[in-house]
Structure 1
Amino acid sequence: MLESLLWGAVAAAPLVLGAVLAGIRAWPDRLLGIVLGFGAGALIASIAFELWQDGLEQGGPVPLAIGVALGAAVYFTADRLVERWAKRAGGGAAAGVPLALGALLDGIPEQLVLGFGLADGAGVSVALVVAIFVSNLPESIGSSSDLLDGGVKRPAVLGIWSAVAALCALSTVAGWALADVASASIRTGLNGFAAGALLVMMVDSMIPEAQKRAKDLAGVATVFGFALAAGLSALGG
């Protein structure tokens, strides 16, 4: 159990680190766009080579497809609710929330799966840990910067991401505890859920924001992020 808590904390640490980095200084728009594009590329690789591929190998296409549909629907619905709240609150307070929501809906099932692997005796590679940093850190930096620009105070931003990180870390422990009763179909569905939520978040929020801020450099940054994360995934596999 202690091992699962440790690895859960390590995997969730980039979320808090990103909030700290965003609070230390104001990031130039172009640099922030490059960071977001890089993170989007890393997430695409994570979906393709970790969530999707592992899901197919564990439980096949049907539970994976169901999980993807559920993840997309939950994120879409939650994001629409955030938009309505933003209109009532005046807009600024909700800046950056979609990325935080995506990180939460991705992180919980992803770290449940990490807990399952630890309970089954599977090791955690350094490459996997680095890949998590590569994908999660830009999400947190981008969301935190948007929240700060929208008028949210630094302690509140740090509190939001600390709560997301804590829930994700505890999900690793939950996965470890539930490993004996979680079937291959459930594990595959969780992979699909995370993939579906991430895909909608990237297309709706992360990639448009990267393009808006970094302009012509967004595509190149996305390719670099994809290449690095895909290479790390191959090393970890």
Structure 2
Amino acid sequence: MGVSLWWGAVAASSLILGAWLGVLRPWPEKAIGLVLGFGAGALIASISFELAGEGFQVGGPWPLALGLTAGALAFFFADRAVERWGARRAGGGAGLPLALGALLDGIPEQAVLGIGFAQGEGVSLALLVAIFVSNLPESVGSSTQMVGGGTPRRTVLALWLVVTGVCALATTGGYAAARVTAERFEGAVDGFAAGALLVMLVASMVPEAKERGGNAAGLATVLGFAVAAGLSVPS
């Protein structure tokens, strides 16, 4: 479990790194868009090869399908609640919904890392890269908005430190759950994470990458997919 926590902290560390970069200076929209595109491509590859593929193998089609549905619905309604709450905020609340969104994304992503360790597969480099890269633009964008809205830099960094810690701990949660549950449940958990991530990708990450990065975001997405696919280890 200690090893899973270490790799979970490595994956989540890009959240606090992005927050630090965001409070340090403003970043060009195009650069953020290209990073978003790369991260989206890496996540698509991880969903295909690591989550859906592994979930089907260990749990079969129905647990995977049920997990996909549950994850998609959970993220959809949680994300809508965050958007409604964020719409009522002003000033210093700017950027906070992005931080909550990163938390909603990060927990299932990191739990899957822990599941891989519990199954004796070690760290998934493809998923690790996807999580690390996709975290950066969320934390950079959120911290930039919060500082621009008047939130003190120390408060911004403290918030992202908490988010980073929770996401890292989710890795040990996935590890513990997989150690005491049947393979069908593990397949459903893989599906849950995949469903949540697919909704996030289609609803926000890919459109935002295109809006900020322009046409080059498509190339960055393919590059991210290629890198993560190359790092995937066939089971």
Q: Deviations over 1:52-86 (max 9, x none)?
A: 11111110121111111111111111121122212
Mapped partners of 1:43, 1:128: distance in 2: 7
Map of 1:46 onto structure 2: 46
Which letter maps to 2:42?
A
Is the aligned partner of 1:225 residue 2:235? Answer: no
The question of 1:188 aligning with 2:187 is answered: yes
Do the aligned partners of 1:134 and 1:229 also contact (CA within 8 Å) in 2?
A: no
Correspondence for 1:167: 166
Residue 11 of structure 1 is matched in structure 2 by 11
The answer on whether the counterparts of 1:67 and 1:189 sit within 8 Å (CA) in structure 2 is yes
Q: Please report how far the alpha carbon of residue 136 of structure 1 lies from its aligned counterpart in structure 2 after TM superposition.
A: 3.2
Distance 1:206 1:155 in 2: 27
* Matched letter for residue 85 of structure 1: W
1:101 Cα shift?
Answer: 4.3
Aligned to 1:56: 56
- Percent identical pairs in the alignment equals 59
Residues 34 and 153 of structure 1, relative CA distance in 2, 3 Å threshold:
farther
Q: CA deviation at 1:152?
A: 4.5
Counterpart amino acid of residue 225 in structure 2:
F
The letter for the 2-side match of 1:59 is G
5+ residue gaps, structure 2:
none
Give distance in 2, aligned partners of 1:223 and 1:142: 22
- CA distance in 2 between counterparts of 1:25 and 1:211 reads 23
* 1:108 aligned onto 2:103: no
**Worse-superposed segment, 200-209 or 119-128:** 119-128
SS of the equivalent of 1:89 reads coil
SS in 2 for 1:227: helix
What residue identity is the alignment partner of 2:114? Answer: G
Query: Does the Cα contact within 8 Å between 1:107 and 1:194 map onto a contact in 2?
Result: no
Q: Which region of structure 1 is more displaced relative to structure 2, 106-115 or 81-90?
A: 106-115
- Say if 1:92 and 1:192 are closer, same or farther in 2 by CA, change over 3 A: farther
State the match for 1:21 in structure 2: 21
* Matched letter for residue 197 of structure 2: L
Describe the SS at the equivalent of 1:26. coil
Once the 2 structures are TM-superposed, how far is the Cα of residue 40 of structure 1 from its aligned partner? Answer: 1.2
Worse-matched range after superposition: 127-136 or 45-54: 127-136
* Structure 2 letter corresponding to 1:19: A
Counterpart residue type for residue 229 of structure 2: A
Provide the C-alpha distance between the structure 1 equivalents of 2:202 and 2:144, rounded to a whole number of angstroms.
19
Unaligned runs of 5+ in 1: none
In 1, are the aligned partners of 2:55 and 2:191 still within 8 Å (CA)? yes
Cα deviation per residue 1:115-142 (whole Å; 9 max; x = unaligned)?
2333444332656544442343344334
Q: TM-score, normalised by structure 2?
A: 0.85
User: Is the partner of 2:232 in helix, strand or coil?
Assistant: helix
Point out the more displaced range, 166-175 or 191-200.
Answer: 166-175
RMSD of the TM alignment (CA)?
2.6
Tell me if the contact between 1:131 and 1:233 (Cα under 8 Å) persists in the aligned partners: no
Asked if structure 1 preserves the Cα contact closer than 8 Å seen for 2:42 and 2:129, the reply is no
CA separation in 1, counterparts of 2:82 and 2:126?
A: 34
Q: Check 1:125–1:109 CA distance in 2 against 1; reply closer, same or farther (3 A cut).
A: closer
1:104, CA displacement in angstroms? 2.8
Residues 106 and 195, structure 1, Cα contact 8 Å, conserved in 2: no
Distance (whole Å) between structure 2 residues aligned to residue 187 and residue 39 of structure 1: 25
